[in-house]
A and B are shown apart, each in its own frame.
Chain A
Amino acid sequence: MIAVLIFMTAAVAISYWWLWKQKILEQPWLTEGTAVDNRDSTNLAGKSAKSGLFVFLAVVTSIFSLFISAYFMRMNLNDWLPVDEPRLLWGNTGVLALGSIAIHWTARAANNDSIATVRYGLIATGIFTSLFILGQWVAWQELVDQGHYLQSNPAATFFYLFTGLHGIHLLGGLWVWLKTTLKVLAGQNAEQTILSVELCRNYWHYLLVVWLCLFALLLST
Chain B
Amino acid sequence: MPVAVVFILLVIGSIIFHFASPWWFTPLASNWGTIDDTINITFWVTGFVFVAVNLFMAYAVIRFRNRKDSKPAKYEPENPKLEIWLTVLTAIGVAAMLAPGLYVWNDFVHVPEEAWEVEAVGEQWRWSYRLPGEDGMLGTVDNHRVSAANHFGINPNDPNGQDDLLVTSNVLHIPVDKPVKFLLRSKDVLHDFAVAEFRVKMDLVPGLVSYMWLTPTKTGSYEVLCEELCGLAHFTMRSRVVVDTQEDFDAWESQQRTFAQSQQVRDPNAMIGSALYAVCATCHGAQGEGNLALNSPKLSGQSDWYINRQLQNFKQGYRGAHKDDLFGAQMAPMAAILADDAAIRDVTAYIGTFAHGDSDQSITGDLDRGKQLFTTCGTCHGKTGQGNYATNSPRLNGQEDWYIKRQLINFKEGIRGAHPGDQFGPQMASMSRMLRSDNDMNDVIAYINSLSNQPENKIAAITQGEH
Interfacial residues, chain A to chain B (CB-CB below 8 A): 27, 29, 77
CB-based nearest B residue for A77: B207
- A26→B32 CA distance, assembly (Å): 50
CB of A31, distance to nearest CB on chain B (Å)? 12
CB of B77 within 8 Å of the partner chain: yes
Counting contact residues on chain B (CB < 8 A from A), the size range is under 10
Give every chain B residue within 8 A of A27 (Cβ-Cβ). Answer: 77-78
B396 to chain A, nearest CB (A): 35
Chain B residues, CB < 8 A from A29: 77
On chain A, the residues within 8 Å of B77 by CB distance are 27, 29
The chain B residue sitting closest to A27, CB to CB, is B77
Q: In the complex, what's the smallest C-beta–C-beta distance from B78 to chain A, in angstroms?
A: 8
B199 to chain A, nearest CB (A): 29
Interface residues in B196-221 (C-beta closer than 8 Å to A): 207
Q: How far is the CB of B108 from chain A (nearest CB, A)?
A: 23
Which residue of B has the minimal Cβ distance to A29? Answer: B77
A77 to B78, CA, bound (A): 54
Shortest beta-carbon distance from A79 to chain B in Å:
10
The answer for the CA separation of A27 and B77 in the assembled complex, in Å, is 9
Give, as a whole number of angstroms, the nearest-CB distance from A26 to chain B. Answer: 12
* Minimum CB–CB distance for B450 against chain A, Å: 37
- Residues in A with CB closer than 8 Å to B207 are 77
4 closest A-B pairs by CB: A29-B77, A27-B77, A27-B78, A77-B207
Which of chain B's residues 44-92 have a Cβ closer than 8 Å to chain A?
77-78
Q: Give the docked Cα–Cα distance between A29 and B77 (Å).
A: 7
Hey, which chain A residues are within 8 Å of B78, CB to CB?
27
4 contacts between A and B (CB under 8 A): A27-B77, A27-B78, A29-B77, A77-B207
Q: How far is the CB of A138 from chain B (nearest CB, A)?
A: 36
In angstroms, how far is the closest chain A Cβ from the Cβ of B324? 54
Q: Which residue of A lies closest to B78 (CB)?
A: A27
CA distance in complex: A29, B78 (Å): 10
Q: How far is the CB of B73 from chain A (nearest CB, A)?
A: 14
Cα A29 to Cα B75 with chains together (Å): 11
CA distance A95 to B77 in the complex (A): 59
Contact code string B399-413 (vs A, CB < 8 Å = 1, else 0): 000000000000000
Residue of A nearest to B207 (CB): A77
Interfacial chain B residues near A77, Cβ < 8 Å: 207
A149 to B78, CA, bound (A): 63
Residue of A at shortest CB range from B75?
A29
Looking at the assembled complex, report how far the CB atom of A124 sits from the nearest CB atom of chain B, in whole angstroms.
50
Shortest Cβ distance from B215 into chain A, in angstroms? 33
Nearest Cβ in chain B — how far from A30, in angstroms?
A: 8
The CA-CA distance from A53 to B79 in the complex, in Å, is: 40
In the complex, the chain B residue whose C-beta lies closest to that of A28 is B77
A29 to B207, CA, bound (A): 59
Q: Mark B308-334, 1 if CB is under 8 A from A, else 0.
A: 000000000000000000000000000
CB distance from B75 to the nearest CB of A (A): 9
Instruction: Name which residue of chain A comes closest to B76, CB basis.
Output: A29
- Give complex CA distance A29, B79 in Å: 13
B64 to chain A, nearest CB (A): 21
A210 CA / B1 CA spacing, docked (Å): 60
- A8, B142: Cα distance in complex, Å: 38
CA of A104 to CA of B78, assembled, Å = 51
- Closest-CB distance, B84 to chain A (whole angstroms): 15
Bound-complex Cα distance A183 to B7 (A): 66
Bound together, the chains give a CA A77 to CA B206 distance in angstroms of 13
Which residues in chain B, 353-393, are within 8 Å of chain A measured between CB atoms? Answer: none
Nearest Cβ distance between residue A38 and chain B, in whole angstroms?
21
